[in-house]
């Protein structure tokens, strides 16, 4: 499995895949939502609810079947701040302890030429300051001018810009609604005023990122945290990441120190789970193709007649690999699988077993019954 010739050990693509999965599932099924979240280090957010919210699906896939939605949201937004949200390309939630590490990214976002006028920003900040517990977007927007989806009002756009730059923070949600607040009221002083050198910041991001990803190229780490490729290379060099070569990969790769100690070990057993489109395993589509040989298509916003697999498709993880995908919907007290599509070369029995185990687990977590729709042809 391993060759030690060259500037770092060479591993097979199969072993690279297993290392990536082992890192993501490292806490084990007995871990709580908070522990799993801190291990992942980042959760992508998305408003679609056809099955459930993206952040819940990601954490539930690493939690036991007895876990429920409430365990996820209470771990992320328990009241006192333990997380913060940032729109850095995509909307994500991060552990509060990582706040100082994103100072360069916030500064970069603040320097964009489309910053709001100072008077606009001051108006929003003054409005938030008047509310000691923070405000929801409904308070920030003018009466009768509420916006939804991506049709933002000017006030909402300004508020979102201030969150990106750290002038406002979102560390709490009430019934799913974000609460905008002043950073000095939510972020502990030792984090709010922490000053790290550029190299210390990159070293920390490199270490955290490689521990979460298990194995990564510089490009993978760059997309994971919204870094430039130059920053990602330097972050990996400054961290304790170990360089490796993966058979068939064009770019150099690194593994976490923990993974480096297990290069020759057998792959760990992993549970069967349904993996959402914004999960850490799939949200970088290029990495999913390279690492997992899984070409995920997100088709929710395509016309129905042009979809290949369906409206909201979940990957089926079984036996340490993606064996296929299902088009799923939670409706009427059921988790309904409207379509089932095995990957090419996957035995029908293996695919069926993966779908059955994974769908039953998610249905139990969502407190609904598993159900199958009309049979769909294999893709």
Q: Is the pLDDT of residue 135 over 90?
A: yes
Q: Is the pLDDT of residue 147 over 50?
A: yes
Task: Calculate what percentage of the chain has a pLDDT beyond 70.
Answer: 93
Question: Three-state SS for 354?
Answer: helix
Helix, strand, coil percentages, rounded to 5, for the chain: 40, 20, 40
CA distance 311 to 299: 6
CA neighbor of 205 nearest in space, from 101, 93, 82, 86: 101
pLDDT of residue 79: 85
Name the packing angle between helices 154-165 and 103-110 (round to 10°). Answer: 140
Band of residue 138 on the pLDDT scale cut at 50, 70, 90: confident
Q: Is the pLDDT of residue 100 over 80?
A: yes
Burial class (CB in 10 A: 0-12, 13-18, 19+), 240: middle
pTM as predicted? 0.92
Band of residue 6 on the pLDDT scale cut at 50, 70, 90: very low
pLDDT of residue 374: 67
Least confident interval from 10-14, 124-128, 147-151, 243-247: 147-151
Question: Three-state SS for 308?
Answer: coil
CA neighbor of 64 nearest in space, from 286, 284, 339, 361: 361
CA distance 246 to 255: 11
Instruction: Specify whether the CB–CB gap between 370 and 72 falls below 8 A.
Output: no
Give the distance, in angstroms, between the CA of residue 159 and the centroid of all CA atoms in the same chain: 23
pLDDT of residue 379: 37
CA distance 22 to 11: 15
CA neighbor of 314 nearest in space, from 346, 351, 339, 347: 339
CA distance 112 to 109: 6
Q: Say which residue the tokens 């059955």 belong to.
A: 356
pLDDT of residue 28: 66
H and E: helices and strands count for the chain: 16, 15
pLDDT tens digits for range 19-64: 999 999 987 667 899 999 999 999 999 999 999 999 999 999 999 9
Q: Measured between alpha carbons, how far apart are the two ends of the chain, in Å?
A: 32
Length of the chain: 379
CA neighbor of 71 nearest in space, from 31, 29, 33: 33
Band of residue 378 on the pLDDT scale cut at 50, 70, 90: very low
Give the list of residues 6+ apart from residue 64 with CB closer than 8 angstroms, or none.
29, 30
CA distance 45 to 31: 22
Q: Is the pLDDT of residue 4 over 60?
A: no
Quick one: tokens of 361?
């687990």
pLDDT tens digits for range 279-321: 999 999 999 999 999 999 999 999 999 999 999 999 999 999 9
The residue-averaged pLDDT of 353-367 equals 98
pLDDT tens digits for range 216-257: 999 999 999 999 999 999 999 999 999 999 999 999 999 999
pLDDT of residue 150: 61
């Amino acid at each position: 499995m391993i060759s030690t010739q060259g500037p770092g050990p060479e591993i097979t693509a199969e072993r690279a895949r297993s290392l990536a999965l082992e890192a993501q599932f490292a806490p084990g099924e007995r871990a709580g939502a908070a522990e799993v979240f801190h291990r992942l280090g980042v959760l992508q957010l998305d408003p679609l609810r056809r099955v459930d919210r993206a952040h819940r699906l990601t954490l539930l896939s690493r939690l036991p079947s007895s876990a429920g939605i409430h365990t996820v949201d209470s771990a992320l937004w328990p009241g006192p701040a333990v997380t913060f949200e940032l729109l850095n390309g995509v909307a994500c939630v991060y552990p509060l302890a990582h706040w100082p590490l994103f100072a360069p990214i916030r500064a970069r976002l603040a320097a964009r030429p489309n910053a709001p006028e100072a008077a606009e920003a001051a108006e929003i900040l003054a409005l938030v300051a008047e509310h000691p517990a923070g405000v929801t977007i409904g308070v920030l927007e003018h009466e009768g001018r509420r916006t939804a989806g991506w049709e933002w009002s000017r006030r909402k756009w300004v508020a979102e810009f201030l969150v990106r730059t750290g002038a406002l923070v979102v560390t709490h949600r009430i019934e799913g609604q974000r609460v905008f607040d002043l950073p000095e009221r939510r972020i502990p002083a030792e984090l709010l005023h922490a000053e790290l050198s550029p190299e210390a910041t990159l070293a920390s991001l490199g270490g955290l990122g490689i521990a979460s990803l298990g194995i990564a190229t510089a490009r993978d780490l760059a997309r994971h945290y919204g870094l430039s490729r130059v920053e990602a290379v330097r972050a990996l060099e400054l961290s304790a990441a170990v360089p490796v070569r993966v058979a068939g990969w064009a770019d150099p790769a690194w593994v976490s120190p923990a993974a480096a100690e297990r290069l020759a070990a057998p792959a760990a057993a992993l549970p069967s789970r349904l993996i959402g489109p914004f999960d850490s395993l799939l949200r970088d589509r290029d990495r999913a193709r390279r690492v997992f040989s899984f070409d995920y298509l997100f088709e929710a916003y395509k016309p129905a007649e042009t979809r290949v697999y369906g409206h909201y498709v979940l990957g089926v993880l079984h036996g340490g690999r993606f064996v296929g995908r299902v088009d799923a919907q939670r409706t009427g007290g059921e988790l309904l699988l409207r379509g089932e599509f095995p990957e090419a070369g996957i035995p029908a029995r293996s695919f069926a077993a993966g779908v059955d185990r994974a769908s039953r687990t998610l249905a139990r977590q969502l407190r609904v019954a598993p159900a199958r729709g009309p049979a769909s042809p294999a893709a």
